[in-house]
Amino acid sequence: MFRMKCFSLSIMAFSLLIAGNLNAQSINLNSGNLEAVNVRISFEKMNSKNAVKAIKDSSIKEFDEPTFIKIKNLNFQNGTIEVKVLSKLLKNVPAFARGFIGIAFRINDDNTKYESIYLRPTNARAGDQVRRNHSIQYYSYPDYKFDRLRKESPEKYESYSDMEMGKWITMRIEVKGSVAKLFLGNNTQPSLIVTDLKHGADISGSIGLWVDIGTEGYFSDLKINTEKY
């Protein structure tokens, strides 16, 4: 009887594992799945990887705006977003360009509300420690951009992690309710933890591959797991 119970429990655990993985998917980054929102996109090979490239529309002058490649027909609330990103600086960029690149998530239909975590790769190896501390950034559109968050809650929504310009970086964001955690590469500990996503725990929406001024951004190997927590 004991062996039968153990066997039954094992089958149940296996079934739950399979069910939990049914919502995991790799997203095909082709033109049919993507919508350009205030960016120019193209498809190129970068460092032996097929990638989609994004450059911010020069008519958008403000920072932390909806400038991303939006994934069509996707509704994400909780789960994991993983993507490889690579950024380069465009020619003749302003001095404050940092290679801004990242992920927007829970984007509403008209792109007026979303959450985002992005990287500033040039800061990670700067000689100035303050710049290093600003290597990773969370913001929430439209009301909580980086400058407001830095002024009202210094150091809370930014952090340091090592990374390089011009090399592929794996970003993984785990989202659960009002909490988001960013992991880089194979790190088992998060590089940034946000415990109070500004739009709250209950909203959902699409995912965007985000860039800002001065960035030539590349994205590859997008994987999304919408497993319920």
Give tens-digit pLDDT for 68-114: 999 999 999 999 999 999 999 999 888 899 999 999 999 999 999 99
pTM recorded for the entire structure: 0.89
First to last CA, the chain: 32
Mean pLDDT of the region 135-161: 98
The span from the CA of 157 to the CA of 191, in Å, is 11
Share of the chain above pLDDT 90, in %: 85
The span from the CA of 194 to the CA of 138, in Å, is 8
Range with lowest mean pLDDT among 20-29, 105-114, 219-228? 20-29
Q: How confident is the model at residue 228 (pLDDT cuts 50, 70, 90)?
A: low
